[in-house]
Structure 1
Amino acid sequence: MMRRFSKQAVTLSQTIYQTILADLISPLWTAYCQRVPQALRIHQLLEGHNKRVVHDHIGLRTLNFPWSSSSALGEKLGQYGYCIRDRASDPEQHLEYFWFHHPAPEVPAILITELDIEALTKSSQMILRELASTTCHSTLWSLNQTPACKPALQPFEALLSESEIAAWFSLFGTSAHYFSVSVNQLDRQNDMSKLIKLLLEEGFTLDSQDRLIRKSDQTLLAQAITLPDQLEVNLGDQEKVRVSTGCYHFTLRSKSPSGKLYKKFFSSTAFSGTQCD
């Protein structure tokens, strides 16, 4: 059962905030920076130019096995006061997206991207089940958990040929896929043009495949993303593979007609999630 916190209680209780930071956010951030070293360098760069750097949200990837599904992870997030605020589907890619919001200021939201395992072949499902079974009993699977054993090269390539998310999960599990900086809460680089100018001047490369700044009038969001870090990973048979381990994201939010910052993530307004505030 999800434990609920009132907005006032969460806002005033430093104990709750420190618990969330120590037990949830910091472990995710530490593991993420080990895989995406540019994130720590950029974070330190921004700290040198701004009074504080706050993350808007964290992206997690998972599969809809009962023990690693969005429902299972959402229940764990609920223990920290999170509740689901928005969701969306991509049937062509067999993906579901779940946006978990926290009522406390400066606690990042969490976006869970869930792949339907039924979209994978039986052999791929078996590979993933075997990897998970070497880690722990399924009911103990948790946030920020990676499989204890990596797949051999051939099974990994088989997963990759079907789904990049499935292959990524086989290496990194439910650890953070990305963190996104809240551009709104930077005091100097508090718009995208200033932020991008600084990043480019410092030698960081941004993903411009779609466009450098990705805007949506419907969602009142603007986002920018670095090119992914590429790291060599040791596989289960002592072979190595070079993979994309993650990017660092930046999110700028606009105000809704009500005058408040837009807090959701998707353009669809059909979903009516549990209200956190």
Structure 2
Amino acid sequence: MSPDEFFDALWKDYVAMAPQAARIREEFESRGEQVVNDHVAFRTLGLEPIGIERLEPHILALGYKQLEPYEFPAKKLRAFGYVSEEPNAPRIFLSELKVDELSSKSAAILKECAAWVDSSELAEPEVLWSGRLWDPISWDDYQTLVAESEYAAWVATLGLRPNHFTISVNNLQKTTEVEGVLQVVESLGLAVNDSGGRVKGSPEQLLEQGSTMADKMEVEFADDQTHEVPTCYYEFAKRYPDKDGNLFQGFVATSADKIFESTDTKKS
């Protein structure tokens, strides 16, 4: 599978979960802008057979290399960034939940999900947009997870798929600041994630980011209940050159920590 085929397949799955992204992209294109993807991100559980180490080979096979690790102690997450050897290729961000740091009740729910997964389903890159590989959890279990980890509830409900794409503000010609992009988003009647400020990061940190709040959709749970839950969101990133004049390629953990909250049920 070529990188173009990979990202095209991801986009189709993503916009089905986040139709707002198509609206935002179309709005900027209607203004004469070229919309370029800065990065795409995935969430998973730190459990066999779906942990980072099992998903990462599909990313490396596309010509990517692993950057430095990131830790999010408050959210019990670890992550890696990946950059391609091809110029202008989107970056990739892959995170996982440290399930064993959760309460025994929440951990048991997630371990039951992972136990459903046949490791053979991890053999092809399509697993990264396969969705839920286990039976639906109950609404009660969803509430248990949300109370402890919004991230856990998201993965248990929606499975393996991109949780966001990102517009590269560097490639926009008319709206050249993250705040300006957020104002365009709000003009479409869409909500912005203001956790930690509307614009997270700074030029000094070499990265500024903002995002929408996630779209929502009806999901069927195991007990014949259907409820609306947050799905995916659109992010916007502006990168700055380092002291050597090279554009920053990584991520800023303190900013990413707040971007994660774009899917929080309490805010969306």
Distance 2:32 2:49 in 1: 40
Partner residue in 1 for 2:59: 77
Q: Does 1:137 align with 2:118?
A: yes
**Cα root mean square deviation, aligned:** 2.2
The equivalences for 1:186-201 within 5 A come to 186-201=172-187
**Which structure has the greater CA radius of gyration?**
1
- SS of 2:74's equivalent in the other structure is helix
The equivalences for 1:139-154 within 5 A come to 139-141=120-122, 142-148=127-133, 149-154=135-140
Partner residue in 2 for 1:213: 199
Partner residue in 2 for 1:7: none
Cα offset for 1:178?
1.0
Distance 1:48 1:212 in 2: 24
Alignment match of 2:95 (pick from 78, 98, 113): 113
Q: What residue identity is the alignment partner of 2:64?
A: Y
The equivalences for 1:1-277 within 5 A come to 19-22=2-5, 24-134=6-116, 136-141=117-122, 142-148=127-133, 149-266=135-252
Distance 1:31 1:267 in 2: 26
Cα offset for 1:110?
1.0
**CA contact 1:180–1:249 (8 Å) conserved in 2:** yes
Total equivalences in the alignment: 249
Distance 2:74 2:177 in 1: 34
- Unaligned runs of at least 5 residues, structure 2: 255-268
Distance 1:203 1:155 in 2: 32
Partner residue in 2 for 1:272: none
Cα offset for 1:51?
4.4
Partner residue in 1 for 2:261: none
Instruction: Give the TM-score, by structure 1 length.
Output: 0.82
Q: What residue identity is the alignment partner of 2:4?
A: L
Distance 2:153 2:188 in 1: 32
Distance 1:164 1:49 in 2: 36
Q: What residue identity is the alignment partner of 1:44?
A: E
Identity of aligned residues (%): 27
